[in-house]
Amino acid sequence: MDTVQAAAPAQAIEDVARPGSDRAAAIGALRTRLAHLGDTGDGAKERAEHLVDLAVRYGTRPFTSLEQARRLLGVDRPAFAALLDLFDRIPELATAVQRGPEGKYWTNTILPLERSGALDAVVRRRPAFPYSVGIYPGPTCMFRCHFCVRVTGARYDASALEAGNALLASVIDEVPDTQPSTVYFSGGLEPLTNPQLGELAARGGRRGLDMTLYTNAYALTERTLERQPGLWSLHAIRTSLYGLNDAEYEATTTKPRAFGRVRANLGSFMAQRAERQAPTRLGLNYIILPGRADRLMDLVDFVAELNEHSPDRPLDFVTVREDYSGRDDGRLAADERARLRDALQDFTAYARERTPALHVDLGYALESLRSGVDAELLRITPGTMRGSAHPQIAVQVDLLGDVYLYREAGFPELAGAHRYIAGRVTPTRSLDDVVREFVERNPHIEPRPGDEYFLDGFDQAVTARLNQMEQDVADGWEAHRGLLRQAGEA
């Protein structure tokens, strides 16, 4: 009974940033916690209220600067410093922030980067091997998606494959043993168009790297798997799903009958995976494009049908996202977003019922929307872009060895993207060399209108966090910068 009674106040604090939570109960629980910490003086109730306000603010607006938060509370600097010290001493408040409507920013991106030390490396301009390295091995792509920034017809010459794969292999070789999840294969262009992708995957597998492949799965055929057995060394395969029938696929990719082929490839892969007892995880990335907000229930049915190919080893995960590019043709209209809010509730419930083993990740903004808070996606503009980017956190390397600073810049012949190349990996110049030289040179790349489209959702979140951290330091709050630092996930 004592355990239950003790748990209830903690639960009130941990849930306080969630819509519909009991604010009064959280304040009462915090007053008890403050008393246990020896804070029984005048103003204890007000301090408890302020602590709740901080948790709610950062659970819904994670990139708020500390000075802005102080002004919103209306307290002076000594009182705010005391509040921040108290916040650090009550772990339930950190949990509350992570459980808030925008908690995915914390759990998926900010806190893992905090624990790695990569954020501090950027702020302190200290060279470090990147936390995330995207290897872009594809020489071409069979799709021409309307939302993709790829220049039509642009590709890497086939003659670049041999030398390019050798460079990419050298990047895999230099990944520190302490960073097993650093490397992923993506693009750019479709990775499976590289006939040596399996060898690169096997190379990483032998090193114990947990490598993920992002693919459209059009070429994930039985013949490809037979020719490239190293693909079974991958930790995970994430398939970008561009529709749920041939008509939707063709409207998005311009490729006729692509959906049927992708569906068959996924089913065959699942059957082979079960037969081999291979540990490779398989999942889908589904982008909600305009006009398709009502298709989420059909997505669950699609997953259930795939699972019939391997009842004992079903699909592992589905991530559902909005279009992060910020372009007008990817935005959902206001009325469609309203329908989407209700659809997300039904979708997650239906997924639990029909595909109970499936892990569903709604990402940054859709998780907020499902909880009833219509949070717009974070939008970095040229005015808030960082002139030196964040290579200690993430870079992308293509077949030429060019090291791109943003994930959506690594396309051949893309106008303006060359300005975001940090350097080139060569047989005598490692990725670590490129990053170290770039950081020490500390160049300032002047952003131009349209450059914001080079940043994907991850790049935008990282940029916002770094800007927030630097503002906190400049405002004299370095000891508490960013509010949550090494806290664990909720």
pLDDT digits (tens, 9 = 90+) for 253-274: 888 999 999 999 999 999 999 9
Q: Are 177 and 117 in contact (CB under 8 A)?
A: no
The count of other CB atoms within 10 Å of the CB of residue 336 is 16
pLDDT in tens, 146-158: 777 777 778 999 9
What distance in Å separates the CA atoms of residue 17 and residue 26, rounded to the nearest whole number?
10
Q: How many helices (H) and strands (E) does the chain have?
A: 19, 10
Q: Would you state the structure tokens that stand for residue 223, as one six-digit string? A: 């013949």
Average pLDDT over residues 139-148: 83
Report the C-alpha gap between 382 and 385 in whole angstroms. Answer: 5
* Confidence at 332, pLDDT banded by 50, 70, 90: low
Q: Write down the pLDDT at residue 24.
A: 95
pLDDT, residue 328, reads: 56
Average pLDDT estimate for 137-151: 83
pLDDT score at 2? 38
Average pLDDT, stretch 39-44? Answer: 83
The closest alpha carbon to 258, from 266, 267, 247, 268, belongs to 247
Q: What is the pLDDT of residue 75?
A: 97
Of 9, 8, 16, whose CA–CA distance to 101 is shortest?
16
Q: What mean pLDDT is reported for the chain?
A: 91
Q: Does the pLDDT value for residue 352 go beyond 90? A: yes
pLDDT value at 121 more than 60:
yes
Query: What's the pLDDT score for residue 420?
Result: 97
pLDDT digits (tens, 9 = 90+) for 427-464: 999 999 999 999 999 999 999 999 999 999 999 999 99
Q: Tell me which of 293 and 282 has the higher pLDDT.
A: 282
User: What is the Rg, in whole angstroms, of the alpha carbon atoms belonging to the chain?
Assistant: 24
- What is the pLDDT at residue 161? 97
Return the SS3 of 211. coil
The set of long-range contacts for 304-308, using a CB threshold of 8 Å and a minimum separation of 24, is: 304/354, 304/355, 306/263, 306/266, 306/267, 306/270, 307/270, 307/355
> Which H or E run contains 317?
strand 317-321
DSSP 8-state symbol, 423: E
pLDDT, residue 202, reads 98
pTM: 0.92
Task: Give me the percent of the chain exceeding a pLDDT of 90.
Answer: 78
% of the chain surpassing 70 pLDDT = 94
Q: Cα(37)–Cα(169) distance, rounded to whole angstroms?
A: 54
User: Which two structure tokens, joined as six digits, stand for 354?
Assistant: 């029909």
Question: What does the alpha-carbon distance between residue 183 and residue 178 come to, in Å, rounded to a whole number?
Answer: 12
**pLDDT digit string, tens, across residues 369-410:** 777 776 666 889 999 999 999 999 999 999 999 999 999 999
Can you tell me which residue has the tokens 């304040």? 27
Reduced DSSP (H G I as helix, E B as strand, rest coil) percent helix, strand, coil of the chain, to 5: 50, 10, 40
- Domain definitions of the chain by residue range: 2-114
Which pLDDT score is estimated for 373?
73
